[in-house]
Amino acid sequence: MRIDSRPVQPSVSSGFEHVNRYWDDVHQVWAAKILPGEFYVSTQGEMIVTVLGSCIAACIRDKVRGIGGMNHFMLPEQNEYSSDVWGGNPGTTASRYGNWAMEFLINEILKRGGRRENLEVKLFGGGQMIASMTDIGQRNILFAYNYLASEGLKVAASDVGDVYARKVLYFPDTGAVKVRRIKDMKNDTLLKRENSYRKQVETTALVQSGGVDLF
């Protein structure tokens, strides 16, 4: 009889109950998989996973205390119509925008004991998935670098741009990152998902502003 030697799953922090958490047999670690518009912070040695197309993931941690997390945002910034509607609730669609996603992630790390002067930042994603479309990935990359510069934070490592999707595995306790460039996508699931989420975000912003009723 096989004995399950995996450690007990770490308790989930308040606000992250909706995130998919599972045991990863390959890396022998508990993991959390985030989708577009989500972010996750760990203080207990978990791995954080996401798959990116034109979206950006910022991996940020306190390199002294090992507290860190990852976000996954789709568009650079909220517009003036939606900022007062979504407010600062991490459970809303606001975190699909870079300005909220970065603020949420940094604030949650600091709330859990991280210190700003110890923050280490790594950036991934921003691929141009369809050559004929507007390069949203490049806009996301520029936003991320500009935002971090305005906050006085330097990028320690990155793998951004080009034409690839990426699978990112992040270990906040050590700062290690594994990136797989997906050069030959077997299907267009990722593209459809990103486009669907992006349309939802843009439509919600317009409808909630009261300016345009889309149908």
> How far apart are the C-alpha atoms of 52 and 73, rounded to whole Å?
9
Question: In this structure, are residues 97 and 76 in contact, taking their beta carbons and an 8 Å threshold?
Answer: yes
pLDDT of residue 4: 67
For the chain, the first-to-last Cα distance in angstroms comes to 57
Query: Does the pTM exceed 0.95?
Result: no
**Chain-centroid distance, C-alpha 181:** 17
Instruction: Write the CATH number for 125.
Output: 3.30.1330.200
Q: How confident is the model at residue 208 (pLDDT cuts 50, 70, 90)?
A: very low
Q: How confident is the model at residue 135 (pLDDT cuts 50, 70, 90)?
A: confident
199 within some domain: yes
126 within some domain: yes
Model pLDDT for residues 40-68, shown as the tens digit of each residue: 999 999 999 999 999 999 999 999 999 99
> How far apart are the C-alpha atoms of 147 and 154, rounded to whole Å?
10
The first and second tokens of residue 38, run together, are: 């989500």
149 within some domain: yes
30 within some domain: yes
Query: Residue 23: how many CA atoms within 13 Å on its side-chain side?
Result: 8
Total number of domains constituting the chain:
1
* Positions marked active-site: 55
66 within some domain: yes
Least confident of 53-57, 135-139, 203-207: 203-207
The secondary element (H helix, E strand) that includes residue 165 is strand 165-171
Least confident of 107-111, 136-140, 202-206: 202-206
User: What sign for the dihedral angle of Cα 178, 183, 187, 190?
Assistant: positive
191 within some domain: yes
Q: Which domain holds residue 158?
A: 20-203
Helix/strand/coil for 38? coil
8 within some domain: no
188 within some domain: yes
> How far apart are the C-alpha atoms of 8 and 158, rounded to whole Å?
32
Q: Which of 42, 70, 62 is nearest to 153 (CA)?
A: 62
Question: Residue holding tokens 């992630």?
Answer: 105
pLDDT of residue 77: 76
Question: In this structure, are residues 63 and 55 in contact, taking their beta carbons and an 8 Å threshold?
Answer: no
The first and second tokens of residue 4, run together, are: 């399950």
Question: Residue holding tokens 């989708």?
Answer: 35
Question: Higher model confidence: residue 36 or residue 82?
Answer: 36
Least confident of 10-14, 89-93, 160-164: 89-93
**Chain-centroid distance, C-alpha 95:** 9
